[in-house]
A and B are shown apart, each in its own frame.
Chain A
Amino acid sequence: MLQLIGVNKVFNAGTVNEKVALTDINLDVKPGDFITIIGSNGAGKSTLFNMISGYFYSDSGNIILDGKDITLLPEHIRAKSIGRLFQDPMLGSAPGMTIEENLALAAGHGGWFSHISKKDKSLFREKLALLDMGLEDRMKQPVGLLSGGQRQALTLLMATMNPPKLLLLDEHTAALDPATADKVMEITKNVVEEENLTCMMITHNMGAALEFGNRTIMMDSGKIILDIEGETREKCTVDDLLNEFKQRAGESLDNDRMLLSK
């Protein structure tokens, strides 16, 4: 499905600010995998996503998606097969445009000079109703009026409107209040199951990392230091994860948010 082969990334190479972000990352994501990713601040989790989505390019190594080498493809081309959600709910939608218009742009149906069709409108209405947030009756309202949770749910809908081959979730519930976060997470789970998406999710919540998905990766200093699935993962507890981290990284986890949400 997705293969990372020897991927490296260094920021500001050759300057005093040099920062090694990713070192020799090798990862093989199988079709239908739901991988949760944890790690301390600056471990390279978001850099990994930026690399896969094409926000910036790797210094070396190859990224293969569905048998096709996408290492040098620009972001908007990769977006056809990769959907992405960020921690900031404001990033995924255009605030000055209506819900309907945002969805239409994400759906990309019809020609460049076509208007939003009736068929699309009823499709959007149907999909919005699934969110159970009352958005289906507010389709003509600008997205800027929505709450963070509503916008994130809408972004999720936009990202999966044309089911992507790979869905990247970068702490997409971290900025929401607990109740809304649960709801968005539930919607996420449903969408991923229904469309049978391959999914990678960064989270700071160790409980969630073990609860959701079928595989968990731990990162530190630009390396993957733990990769568990199947039985090993089922037996694993949050404390095991913390101990595992201490052993492998040679230091305690320095992510306060992660420890607090333990």
Chain B
Amino acid sequence: MDMSSILPLLQNATELGLICSLTVLALYLSYSMLNVCDLSTDGCYTLGAVVGGMVVLQGHPYLAILAAMGAGILSGLLTAFLQTYMGIDSLLAGIIVNTGLWSINIHIMGGKSLLNLFGKDTVFSIAKNAFKDTPVHEYSNLIVIAGFVILAVIFLSLFLKTRLGLAIRATGNNPAMVKSSSINPAIITIIGLGVANAFTALSGCLMGQSLKSFDINIGTGMVTIALASLLIGHTFFGKRSITTRAIGVVIGSVIFRLVYALALRMDIPSYMLRLVSSVIVIIFIAVPYLKKQFPLLTRRMSVASKRRAK
């Protein structure tokens, strides 16, 4: 492998990793903090891409970002409302919203399952023009994405230390204690998922704008990919401060894409991405669990072997 071909590859992987890291940050909020596994993530990511894409087609790439985030918030509020006030199990609520969003997304695209943004201004094309004569023009995409991610990390690390943020963390940690602090955990869950899904939709919107052409399947498997990135991040920065862990999951997302990009170079077909993410999630959740079980297993085995010796 020569360096001239591998550098753009790594740059591309980093860009992808950073865009997806916004979804990972969303899961950091919902899964790690609020303790809700939000399975509407795939649909919400697509929703962000689709809503953003339609607004880009109208010629408003900045407004597209706000519209996508707004749509994400609505989707998150709905998922949370179903699980807090409608008695629907939280996993099921996510799956239901995810399924419903598929139809809604196609409806937003005017009944088609494909969207083309070619020839329209996107935040990336605008940045490319702005950086045209500067030495960093090759990295304009990276700069834009990094800007969003840095803002998101700063927002989250400040947000999670506010009283509302503390309530969100406590709701995932000990809901009974939240109630005894005179706070309604249902409302906190609704707000938390609203904010988280704003990030998911932002992530999808940026991905849509950078791809310029995508279909209804753009978000399929995102929840597992993001979960894999989150768990990789937690492995390295698990027991640190809120901010360090937030940075950690962003790094986790980039590592995931870099490793994957290198795997692609070794002739692993690109459709393997989802399998790889599934296996990573399994490993990162099962290994710590098995580690805990291991002493018991060895004891059982030694007892069994003693019995056989008799």
Residues of B within 8 A of A (CB): 158, 161-164, 166-167, 169-170, 172-174, 176-185
Contacts and interface: CB of A to CB of B under 8 A. Distances in A.
B184 A93 contact: no
Interface in A58-92: 74-77, 79-80, 83-84, 91-92
14 contacts: A75-B179, A76-B179, A76-B184, A79-B181, A83-B180, A84-B180, A94-B174, A95-B174, A96-B172, A102-B177, A108-B183, A112-B162, A112-B164, A115-B161
A159 interface: yes
A158 B183 CA distance: 14
A115 B162 contact: yes
A104 B173 contact: no
- 4 closest cross-chain pairs (CB), A and B: A94-B173, A112-B164, A94-B170, A94-B174
A94 B184 CA distance: 15
Given A79-B180, A91-B174, 11 more contacts: A79-B181, A93-B174, A94-B174, A96-B172, A96-B173, A105-B183, A106-B180, A108-B163, A112-B162, A115-B158, A115-B161
Contact of A108 (B169, B177, B182): B182
Interface string A95-133: 111000110111010111111100000000000000000
Interface string A8-42: 00000000000000000000000000000000000
B179 to A, nearest CB: 4
Contacts, number: 76
B170 A97 contact: yes
Contacts of A91: 174, 176-177
Contacts of B170: 94, 97, 102, 105
Contact of A97 (B158, B169, B176): B169
Contact of B169 (A94, A110, A158): A94
Contact of B173 (A95, A106, A111): A95
A102 B161 CA distance: 12
B182 A80 contact: yes
B161 A97 contact: no
Contacts of B179: 75-76, 79
A163 to B, nearest CB: 13
B136 to A, nearest CB: 35
A114 B163 contact: yes
B173 A110 contact: no
B263 to A, nearest CB: 35
A250 to B, nearest CB: 37
A83 B177 CA distance: 11
B183 A76 contact: yes
A114 B184 contact: no
Nearest to B162: A113
A95 B169 CA distance: 10
Given A105-B166, A112-B164, A113-B163, A159 B173 contact: no
A29 B181 CA distance: 24
A76 B162 CA distance: 20
Contacts of A159: 180
A244 to B, nearest CB: 34
B280 to A, nearest CB: 24
Contacts of A94: 169-170, 173-174, 177
Contacts of A113: 162-164
A115 B183 CA distance: 17
Contact of B166 (A76, A104, A111, A158): A104
A102 B182 CA distance: 13
Interface in A209-236: none
A116 B169 CA distance: 15
A183 B183 CA distance: 30
B169 A112 contact: no
